[in-house]
Structure 1
Amino acid sequence: MGHWEIILFFLVIAFVYSSVGFGGGSSYLAVLAMYGLPYQEIRLIALICNVIVVTGGVYIYIKNKQTDWRKILPITLVSVPMAYLGAILKISQETFFLILGITLIIAAILLWIKTDAKNNAEISQDSQASVIRNGFLGGGIGFLSGLVGIGGGIFLSPLLNLLKWDTPRKIAATSSFFILVNSISGIFGQLTKLSVDMDFFRILSLCLAVFIGGQIGSRMSLKWNPLVIKRVTAVLVLVAGINVLIKYW
């Protein structure tokens, strides 16, 4: 396998992100895009790594009863089939990288935005309109997630904060579950059209790297500043997005 340093990059990304409860999917995608790997492989790797890193966080959120299923289900029930449809949609490599570049730039902007914590008095109340809105929001992000190969949390979390959807902890729990189910759905979609040219040794090596990094990070509970991590990541994602557009436009 060429570019052995990617393994180290993935291990570090998983270590840092898991230590503060994040998945790191956008950073995996950004790194892979800068190396110009086959686009089918890029999407599959990013989705699998998402599942590996975020599963532990979802378990903890559920165990601590931070998941409000009444609000989560309208988002995820629509997003899962849409993520599958996005994953099985046939697009050319040029179209994929064009969409990826634009997606990474938008994601970088959302990552940079600082959203203030909302108290319970500010949380928007449930209504039929909000349930429909959540369904459309989840469906749109889910489709984009499957198409590009991300979990979608990078879009969902800041949007939910801006909408005063719930408390920051419950939004984080919702985003983690959203990433998990959409990544799994996207993986199933990708498996319907696997390429024989894929480097399965590279895929397994990167999965092992994020598993090790994620396990170490989640157990060390380091006192990273989440805002600093988000903004450093935003710069990386922005550079990757611009680089992809310059290369493939």
Structure 2
Amino acid sequence: MEHWEIFLFFLIIAFVYSSVGFGGGSSYLAVLAMYNLPYQEIRLTALICNVIVVVGGVYIYIRNKQIDWKKAIPITFMSVPMAYLGAIVKISQETFFLILGVTLIIAAILLWIKTDTRYDEKSIDVSKQSVSGNSMLGGGIGFLSGLVGIGGGIFLSPLLNLMKWDTPRKIAAVSSVFILVNSISGIFGQASQLTVGIDSVRVISLCLAVFIGGQTGSRISLKWNPLVIKRMTAVLVLVAGVNVLIKYW
């Protein structure tokens, strides 16, 4: 496989992030953006890796009954068709990388912001929970997710925490569902619009790396500070975003 070192990067990212409960989807995209790979392959690979990483977490949340479906369904209902729509939008490679660069920079800022995770149910702002408002928020992030090739959790989770939309644990559960359904929708959309050949060996190898790293990390309890991991990710994503803009501006 050309650029074999990406396999190692993905394995390490999946291992570290899964050990502290993160998925690492933005980091996969940031790493891929630094290589001169076909942009359609970058988007598709990032979404498939998202599904592999997050599906286990969603299963655990469902098994432990931690997902509030009455609130999860409205915010994901519009996101699924919008993610598909974003995925089938025809854009040039230059346009994609410009949007990606801006997206990564915004994501880096959101990751760097330290949200208050100590509030409880008494602090939840009910005014931020209208069905129409949740649908619009989910739909907007869903469209961007399909367009760029991310699950959308990197935007949804910080925004919901800033809004005190629900308790941090329930926000994490909803975000996992959001990432899963949007990634699947985006995959179908992008697969239907492929115009170039995909290096299937590379894609499968990276999926294998994510699976091995994620499964290993999720079974090892490491005392790493989640905030430190988030801010390390923010730096990586910021550097990748700036690099993409400089290269394709």
TM-score for the superposition, normalised by structure 2: 0.97
- Give the match for residue 226 of structure 1: 226
Residues 57-96 of structure 1: per-residue CA shift (max 9 Å, x gap): 1111111111000000001010000000000100000000
List gaps (5 residues or longer) in structure 1.
none
Distance 1:209 1:191 in 2: 22
Q: Could you tell me how far 1:197 is from its partner in structure 2?
A: 2.2
Q: Could you tell me how far 1:194 is from its partner in structure 2?
A: 2.2
Distance 1:124 1:196 in 2: 47
- Give the match for residue 36 of structure 2: 36
Distance 1:94 1:204 in 2: 26
The reply to whether residue 189 of structure 1 matches residue 192 of structure 2 is: no
Q: Could you tell me how far 1:37 is from its partner in structure 2?
A: 1.0
Q: Could you tell me how far 1:179 is from its partner in structure 2?
A: 0.4
- Give the match for residue 111 of structure 2: 111
Distance 1:222 1:195 in 2: 43
Distance 1:221 1:85 in 2: 39
- Give the match for residue 21 of structure 1: 21
- Give the match for residue 6 of structure 1: 6
- Alpha-carbon RMSD across the aligned residues, in angstroms, is 1.1
Q: What is the aligned length? A: 248
One-letter code of the match for 2:191? L
Distance 1:196 1:37 in 2: 11
Distance 2:229 2:36 in 1: 25
- Give the match for residue 240 of structure 1: 240
Distance 1:238 1:143 in 2: 22
Percent identical among aligned pairs is 81
Distance 2:66 2:223 in 1: 21
- Give the match for residue 55 of structure 1: 55
Distance 1:209 1:40 in 2: 20
Distance 2:67 2:221 in 1: 21
- Give the match for residue 176 of structure 1: 176
- Give the match for residue 208 of structure 1: 208
- Give the match for residue 121 of structure 2: 120
Distance 2:136 2:243 in 1: 31
The reply to whether residue 133 of structure 1 matches residue 97 of structure 2 is: no
Q: Could you tell me how far 1:18 is from its partner in structure 2?
A: 1.0
One-letter code of the match for 2:192? T
Distance 2:36 2:23 in 1: 22
Distance 1:50 1:183 in 2: 7
Runs ≥4 residues deviating over 2 A:
194-197
Distance 1:94 1:51 in 2: 26
One-letter code of the match for 2:237? V
One-letter code of the match for 1:159? L
TM-score for the superposition, normalised by structure 1: 0.97
List gaps (5 residues or longer) in structure 2.
none
Residues 83-122 of structure 1: per-residue CA shift (max 9 Å, x gap): 0000010000000000000000000000000000221111
Alignment of 1:145-156 (within 5 A): 145-156=145-156
Residues 171-202 of structure 1: per-residue CA shift (max 9 Å, x gap): 00011110000000000001102244211100
Question: Residue 23 of structure 1: SS of its match in structure 2?
Answer: coil
Q: Could you tell me how far 1:125 is from its partner in structure 2?
A: 2.1
Question: Residue 193 of structure 2: SS of its match in structure 1?
Answer: coil
